Amino acid sequence: MERPDTDMMDGFSFKKKISRNFILILLAVLVVCQGALWVWILHMQRTSQARNLESRVRGVSLLLSGVASQALTASDFGDIDHAFQSLPDSDKDIISVRALDTNGAAISQRQLRDEPENQGKGGFFFLPATGTLSTPVMSASGGKEGSIEVHYSAADANSQIRRALLIFPLAQLAVLALIAFIAFYFFQRKIGYPINGINQKLGALANGDLTVEIEAGGADEMGSITEGLRHLKENLGITIAQLSQSSSDVGMAIRQISKVFSSVNTGVQEQGSAVSDIFMALQKAGEFQDSVKNGTEELLEFSSENVTSLLEVRATADEIAASTGKLFQAVDDSYAAVEELTAAAGKISENAQNALSSIEQTSATVEEVGSSVKEIEKGAAESSKLADQVRKAAAEEGVIVVAEAIEKMEQIAEKIKFSSDIVSRLGTRSKDIGGILSIIRNVTEQTNLLSLNAAILAAQAGEYGKGFSVVADEIHALSERTAASTKEIEGIVKTIGKEISQTVDSIGQMFSLLESGMEIFYKAGTSTAGIVTAAQDSAKMAHTIQRATEEQGRALQQITMAVEHIRDMVFEMARATGEQSKGTGFLLDKMSEVREIAEATKMGTYGQAQGTKHISENLETANERISGMKKIIDKQQQSSKEVVSSVEQIQVIGHRTLRDTEEISYSLTTLQAEVEALAREVQKFRLNGKVHNIQAK
Amino acid sequence: MEKFIIFRLSDELFGVGIGRVVEILNLPQANHLPETPEYIVGVINVRGELVPLVDLRKRFGLGSMPKKERVVIVRCPEKTGLVVDEVMEIKGFVPGDISSPPEIFRGIRTEYLKGLAKLDQDRIAILLNMERVISSEEQIHLSALRK
């Protein structure tokens, strides 16, 4: 365990130390506790001193009062004086004694010593400087004879108290100093030194010294803190070493990049200047080219003029040659024409024969076609007639018949409706009959009832009622008969009603049947109208067909006539061509003579023309070459212009590249500076192994 | 020869002596009365006279087959209306036509019966003893209704 250096204590002066504060607090607590104890002890001492003094004085007083009791009783005051005189001087506490009678008058007194100068009234620690104790003197009989007053001094007791007052604080100070020293020593040993050590190491670490050794501490809190610090230091060391390594690498890389970049920069600049040179050179070359081009154009112009004049000469020669050639050609052509004519005449004759035969065939075919067309025409006419008939039939008869049928049906419907009405009226009537019948039935029943009652009355009348009884029986029989007839009529009427309702039903059915029939007729009417339209359409079409066939027939007749005409003509032609063919043979013989003469003339003119042509050709070749040259120059100029523009672009790109490289260079410089700063920071850490020295240039 | 009114209840024919019969009426609307036996249909007004109506079909426990429902007013001894399904005829019987009834005849106690009379070859009429048909107790009941 090292003692802290004064240097290391710079940041931690004694005032700010934990140990000082701790000790001061401890001492303050001790001072307070001890002070309280001290005050209490002193107070106790005062009390005990006071008690001690009082008991001594009381002893003297009691002794004196014993003597005084006898003396006062015997009125022998000499004893009192004697007793007073015999009091030892050694007792420093008693100042004076007095004997008083019952009236308080002093009988005897003795002053042992002077009154003390200091007349303190005492306090918390000290006793009052003087005190008086009065003791009553009692006679043997128990009466009060007087009193003894003892005046005493507490100087002795107070001096003892004062001594104690001095000794206690001194002792306490000594104890406190001892405690402070012990506390400080132990505090320093257990806390202060370890903390100082940690502080020291932290300071070293903060300053970048990672070489400091940190020993493992004990098992207490300080030990764990030290351990943690050691771990921190190791990890920091590793991290810093890595950082240092990578910063060094980065530095190197950046240096290399910088180097490369500066060369790139130089290269780009050089390239830029080279491009500028090229551009200049190209511009100059362009100028040269322009002058070359101008020269060539002039040359071309001259050469063209030459060619033109020569061409004129050549044309004249050519014309002569051509005229001669033409003459010969004409002769030649005539001959060839005659020859061809002869051949053609032969061929024509042959063809005419062929044509004649094919026309014969055609004529026959046309005649056949004509006959079939006639048949078609006949058929078309018939079909047209039929279509007309159909149309007429459909239009007139069909429609009329359907309409009539519908009319009839409607009439039937009306009739049926009428009869239906009648039948329903009949039904109503039969119901009326039913009503009348029910009235008749009621009347009959009533009659029956009356006849019964009459019979009852007749029976009750006995012999006298016999005649009436017969009448009543008759009436009864009549009513019975009436009832029977009514029943029959009722049955008949019921049957009629049933039949009427059946009739109504059947009429209804008939009516619905009629309606469906009428519907069918209406449909028939509609479809008949459709048939009529279709028939009309077909008739129209049949007419059209008929007309077309007629026209076709007429056209065929014309064709037949034309074919016959052609046949005649061809026949004529065949004959004529045969004669012509003979004539052309003679002409051919005469023509071959003329041809031989023309051949000789042609040979002469041909030679002259050939020479002129040669010169002209050479000149044209030269002219062509010049113009070719011009073209090449033009092309070259074009391409050199393109080159110039490309170079301009390159220049622009070069400028941009330059700017970019400058920017990159600037960024690199900045980066480098940053890396250097980092390296410097890292360098501040002193590591155990090799110390990295990163210095970017 | 004694004359009887022959009437029909359900499908049975009955006869009542004509001497007891006052008259025959169509069935009028009867005023039904509360707290009376089921077979007492109600009371009718016959020319200012109140007459109680007895339904003989219910009295004899027969079903109803009405055709021409009538009321036969009888004296027993007060006027009482008998509701019947149909009045058939007035028939006279000589004593030889009437035979005494058997102990029990078609569910009707013989004490109600006067005898059985042959109407013709295949029909029999049950002749009723009206005093027995309507007991004295019932007569008190019925006479109470007349007031």
Asked if B23 and A455 come within 8 Å (Cβ–Cβ), the reply is no
- Neighbouring C-beta atoms of residue A466, cutoff 10 Å: 11
Return d(Cα A394, Cα A536) in angstroms, integer.
Answer: 9
Does the distance separating the beta carbons of B18 and A459 come in below 8 Å? Answer: yes
Does residue A471 contact residue B30 with C-beta atoms inside 8 Å? no
A461, closest residue in chain B (CA to CA): B19
Note whether A456 contacts B: Cβ–Cβ < 8 A.
yes
The label of the residue with tokens 């260079």 reads A665
Q: Tally A–B CB contacts below 8 A.
A: 28
- Which residues does A444 contact at the CB level (< 8 Å), separation at least 6? A479, A482, A483, A486
What pLDDT, on the 0 to 100 scale, is given for residue B74? 92
Work out the number of other CB atoms within 10 angstroms of the CB of residue A184. 16
Using CA atoms, how far residue A401 sits from A398, A523, A539, in Å, is 5, 13, 21
Is the minimum CB–CB distance between B144 and chain A shorter than 8 Å?
no
Quote the radius of gyration of chain A (alpha carbons, Å).
Answer: 87
| A193 Cβ neighbours under 8 A, 6+ residues apart | A1, A2, A3, A4
DSSP structure class, residue A626: H
Cβ separation B90–A459 shorter than 8 A = yes
Domain A14-182 is of which CATH architecture?
Answer: 2-Layer Sandwich (3.30)
> What is the 3 state secondary structure string of A115-127?
CCCCCCCCCCCCC
Q: Least CB-CB distance to B23: which of A456, A459, A476?
A: A456
Summarize the confidence of residues B83-104 as an average pLDDT.
Answer: 84
Give the amino acid at A541. Answer: M
Query: Which residues neighbour A661 within 8 Å (Cβ) at sequence distance 6 or greater?
Result: A261, A264, A265, A268
Alpha carbon distance, N-terminus to C-terminus of chain B: 37
User: Could you tell me if B28 lies within 8 Å of chain A, comparing CB atoms?
Assistant: no
Characterize B96-125 residue by residue with b for buried, 16 or more Cβ atoms within 10 angstroms of its Cβ, and e for exposed: ebbeebeeeeeebeeebbbbbbebeeeebb
Q: Are B85 and B77 in contact (CB under 8 A)?
A: no
For chain B, what are the domain ranges?
A: 2-146
Q: Residue A327 and residue A306: Cα distance in Å, rounded?
A: 31
Annotate A56-104 with DSSP letters as a single string.
HHHHHHHHHHHHHHHHHHTT-HHHHHHHHHHS-TT-SSEEEEEEEETTS
Please state, in angstroms and rounded to a whole number, the distance separating the CA atoms of residues A240 and A682: 7
Residue of A448, A451, A452, A453 to mutate when probing chain B, most B C-beta within 10 A: A452
Q: Which residue matches tokens 């030892």?
A: A88
Query: Are A22 and A188 spatial neighbours (Cβ–Cβ below 8 Å)?
Result: no
Is B67 part of the contact surface with chain A (CB cutoff 8 Å)? Answer: no
Nearest to B23 among A445, A453, A476 (CB): A453
How many residues does this entry show for chain A? 697
Interface check for B18 against chain A (CB to CB < 8 A): the answer is yes
Taking the Cβ of residue B6 and every Cβ of chain A, the question of whether any pair is shorter than 8 Å is answered with no
A622 contacts chain B (CB < 8 A): no
In this prediction, residue B99 carries a pLDDT of: 86
What CA–CA distance (Å, rounded) separates A303 from B97? Answer: 180
Mutation to test the A interface, candidates B22, B24, B27, most A Cβ within 10 Å: B24
Could A449 and B5 be called an inter-chain contact, meaning their C-beta atoms sit closer than 8 Å?
no
CA A409 to chain centre: 81
Q: What pLDDT, on a 0 to 100 scale, did the predictor assign at position B73? A: 93
When computed from its CA atoms, the radius of gyration of chain B, rounded to whole angstroms, is: 15
Question: Residue type for A503, please?
Answer: T
Higher local confidence (pLDDT), A395 or B59: B59
Q: Which two tokens stand for residue A467?
A: 């005649």
Q: Kindly report the number of other CB atoms within 10 A of residue A282's CB atom.
A: 19
Closest partner residue to B18 among A445, A456, A476, by Cβ?
A456
Closest by alpha carbon to A606, among A329, A328, A324?
A324
Distance (Å, whole) CA A692 – CA A299: 80
Task: Judge whether B26 is closer than 8 Å to chain A, CB to CB.
Answer: yes
Res A619: pLDDT:
62
CA–CA gap between residue A469 and residue A475 (Å, rounded)? 10
> Which residue, chain included where needed, has tokens 């390594």?
A245
Give the closest residue to A490 by CA, choosing from A522, A442, A529, A535. A442
Q: What is the mean pLDDT of each run of 10 residues along chain A (697 residues)?
A: 42 61 84 87 87 86 80 74 75 79 78 74 78 79 78 84 84 86 83 79 78 74 81 82 81 79 78 78 77 74 68 64 63 65 60 66 72 76 77 71 80 83 82 83 86 86 81 85 85 84 83 82 78 76 77 77 73 65 63 66 60 66 74 78 78 79 79 78 65 40
Measure in Å the smallest separation between the Cα of B140 and chain A Cα atoms: 27
A445 → closest Cβ in B21, B23, B68: B68
- A470 touching B, CB under 8 A? no
pTM of this prediction exceeds 0.90: no
Compute φ and ψ for B118, nearest 5 degrees. Answer: -80, 120
pLDDT of residue A696: 37
Domain ranges in chain A with CATH number 1.10.287 = 222-323+603-683
User: Residue A212 carries which side chain, given as an amino acid letter?
Assistant: V
User: Which of residues A304 and B82 earns the better pLDDT score?
Assistant: B82
Angstrom CA distances, A74 to A63, A67, A100, A138, A139, stand at 18, 11, 15, 13, 10
**Chain B contact for A460 (CB, 8 A cutoff):** yes
* Ranges for all domains in chain A classified under CATH 3.30.450: 14-182
**Contact state of B24 with A455 under an 8 Å Cβ cutoff:** no
| A449 to chain B, closest Cα gap in Å | 7
Q: Are A638 and A286 in contact (CB under 8 A)?
A: no
Interface contact flag, A460 B18, Cβ < 8 Å:
yes
Give the gap in angstroms from C-alpha B75 to the nearest C-alpha of chain A: 13
User: What's the pLDDT band for B24 if we cut at 50, 70, 90?
Assistant: very high
Collect all residues of chain B within an 8 Å Cβ-Cβ radius of residue A476: 89-90
Residues A430 and A504 sit within 8 Å (Cβ to Cβ) = no
Q: Answer whether residue B15 shows pLDDT above 90.
A: yes
**Reported ipTM:** 0.83
Residues of chain B with Cβ-Cβ distance to A456 below 8 Å are: 5, 18, 21-24, 90
Chain B residue with the nearest C-alpha to that of A456: B18
Does the N-terminal peptide bond of residue B77 adopt cis geometry, omega within 30 degrees of 0?
A: yes
Contacts of A453 in chain B (CB under 8 A): 23-24
Q: Among B3, B68, B70, whose Cβ lies nearest the Cβ of A459? A: B3
Which residues in chain A are contacts of B70 at CB distance < 8 A?
449
**CB-nearest partner of B24 from A453, A459, A460:** A453
Among 3.30.2350.10, 2.40.50.180, 3.20.20.70, 1.10.260.40, what is the CATH number of B2-146?
2.40.50.180
Largest CA distance in chain B: 46
Class of domain A222-323+603-683: mainly alpha
**Of A37, A56, A55, residue with least CA distance to A45:** A37
Query: Looking at chain A, which residue has its C-alpha nearest residue B6?
Result: A452
Q: How far apart are CA A162 and CA A160, in angstroms?
A: 5
How far off is chain A from B68, nearest CA to CA, in Å?
Answer: 9
End-to-end CA distance of chain A: 45
Give the one of A449, A455, A456 whose C-beta lies nearest to B26's C-beta. A449
> What pLDDT score does A666 carry?
81
* pLDDT exceeds 90 at position B71: yes
Q: Does A450 touch chain B (CB under 8 A)?
A: no
For A290-312, the DSSP string reads HHHHHHHHHHHHHHHHHHHHHHH
Backbone phi and psi for residue A108, each to the nearest 5 degrees, phi listed first: -150, 150
Q: Which residue of A has its CA nearest to B4?
A: A456
Nearest CA in chain A to B89: A452
**φ/ψ of residue A585, rounded to 5:** -60, -45
Q: What percent of chain B lies above the pLDDT cut of 70?
A: 89
The 3-state DSSP class for residue A209 equals strand
For residues B128 and A289, the model is more confident at B128
